[in-house]
Amino acid sequence: MQRHVVCYRIPAFQVALARLEDVSLRNRPLAIAPSVNPQTILLEASDEARKEGVCAGMQVGQATRLCPGLKLVPPDPPKIRNATEAIDRIVSRFAPVWESASPGHVFLDLTGTTRLFGRACDTATKVEGEIAERFQLVGVAGVASNKLVSEVASTVVAPLQLYDVRPGAEQMFLSPLPIRTLPLRTMQRQFIHSLFADLNINTLGQLSTLALADLEAVLGPLAGQVCAWAQGIDDTPVLSPLKQPCVETTRTLDEDMVDVEELRGLLDGTLETLCRDLRWQQHCCQRIMLRVQYRDEREASGNERVRPGSYWEGELQPVLHRILTRCLRRRVRVRSLTVTLGELQPARQQLGLIEACADFMPSKHSATNCLARSKQLSIALDRIRAKFGHHAIKWAHT
């Protein structure tokens, strides 16, 4: 069966969201940056800014020298998250399988849906039009037989347009395009672009004529993939969104605070509740995530793997404290904390031989013994709360 893949994206997604919020930002050079520090890297730039030589990945200091009238706006994670979820809800009505590659950038696998929704290009037009009508977000779409060609096609058209690359015409479509249109990772991009510039290879058509052995001599392991891309070949599947079971709690503070020790205390109480739920469900957490919202509505987040999985506060608490330290980079009061324990797996607790024999237990001051006593305390607290209620025990303030 012939594949039909649509790449829908909203160019400069965060810029578009900022202009929806503030109409005075329209038709002027605009860039998204976390701060105005000259060393800060720009996340996105508007068309007006790009015409002045400003681009994403450039430092703020260099960008303001090129474009003195550049307006800098910080990213807004809650707004980005809400807009992404709204777009995903529309896309999910048309595509049985879809993949959110990044905010405002979605792949739809419409293979086998012709009888339901019509041709793939017609479905892409419906998605494009509905998002533009409901949210005033103008996007572009590329239709092709694979993810690579559809993504490249979406970069060569203006907003609210669609490019349909028919099956068999992939290499013909790519041939006149420059090497920089390949969707390379950041670490690969600079190396490959400079390498082909030295070899005087400027277009994908020139690249496709090279023998694989010649490419391997200069690119090594990347040669096979780059050669296939130049010919319009890409077998990468569209992956459905991964939904892992998780438990989550948001703690909104009565008063905004900045004291790290107080925040750690609040997190410890939240973690205790979540771990009690996990023990009741007999699930272990393999990833712990924290999202911090500041008074000015900006957010910071972090996550860390937990190997092996655990549902004990004593094992998860140091991990959560490390994440909090990484997130608190601003001297701004915190408004809320969200703790998520994800990638849950059924618990497989087994008593070890050493733990089973009291004669072999380490000294009472060792880390292993302290952790074992912490687990016993958690079990005792669970039993007390199960019998007398959640508020039977309260932590004292010192």
Q: Give the end of a domain, one of 197, 230, 263.
A: 230
Q: Are residues 274 and 349 in the same domain?
A: yes
Q: Are residues 368 and 268 in the same domain?
A: yes
Q: Give the end of a domain, one of 183, 200, 230.
A: 230
Q: Are residues 208 and 314 in the same domain?
A: no
Q: Of the candidates 278, 383, 395, which has an alpha carbon nearest to the alpha carbon of residue 339? A: 278
Asked whether residue 61 is assigned to any structural domain, the reply reads no
Q: Are residues 275 and 329 in the same domain?
A: yes
Q: Are residues 259 and 385 in the same domain?
A: yes
Beta bridge partners of 379: none
Q: Which two tokens stand for residue 334?
A: 């915190």
Q: Are residues 305 and 387 in the same domain?
A: yes
Residue 198's CATH number: 1.10.150
Q: Are residues 198 and 315 in the same domain?
A: no
Q: Are residues 387 and 354 in the same domain?
A: yes
Q: Give the end of a domain, one of 183, 201, 230.
A: 230
Give the C-alpha separation, 268 to 111, whole Å: 48
Q: Which two tokens stand for residue 299?
A: 């957010």
Q: What is the pLDDT of residue 164?
A: 94
Q: Are residues 297 and 344 in the same domain?
A: yes
Q: What is the pLDDT of residue 110?
A: 93
Domain that holds residue 387: 247-392
pLDDT tens string, the chain, 398 residues long: the values are 789 999 999 999 999 999 998 889 988 999 998 888 888 889 899 999 999 999 888 899 999 999 999 999 988 888 888 898 899 899 989 898 888 888 899 999 999 888 888 899 999 999 999 999 998 999 999 999 999 999 999 998 888 889 999 999 999 999 999 988 887 765 567 778 888 888 899 999 999 898 888 888 888 878 888 889 889 999 888 887 655 577 888 888 888 888 888 899 889 888 888 888 888 778 888 889 999 988 877 888 888 888 778 888 888 889 999 999 988 888 888 988 999 988 887 765 443 433 434 443 445 445 555 656 666 767 776 677 666 666 666 666 55
Asked whether residue 29 is assigned to any structural domain, the reply reads no
Q: Are residues 279 and 374 in the same domain?
A: yes
Asked whether residue 50 is assigned to any structural domain, the reply reads no
Q: Are residues 256 and 307 in the same domain?
A: yes
Q: What is the pLDDT of residue 290?
A: 92
Asked whether residue 309 is assigned to any structural domain, the reply reads yes
Asked whether residue 183 is assigned to any structural domain, the reply reads yes
Q: What is the pLDDT of residue 323?
A: 92
Q: What is the pLDDT of residue 61?
A: 92
Q: Are strands 71-73 and 30-32 parallel, antiparallel or unpaired?
A: parallel
User: How many domains is the chain built from?
Assistant: 2
Residue 258's CATH number: 3.30.1490.100
Asked whether residue 386 is assigned to any structural domain, the reply reads yes
Q: What is the pLDDT of residue 62?
A: 93
Write the CA distances from 356 to 41, 348, 351, 360, 374, integer angstroms. 55, 17, 7, 8, 16
Q: Are residues 263 and 386 in the same domain?
A: yes
Asked whether residue 84 is assigned to any structural domain, the reply reads no
Asked whether residue 340 is assigned to any structural domain, the reply reads yes
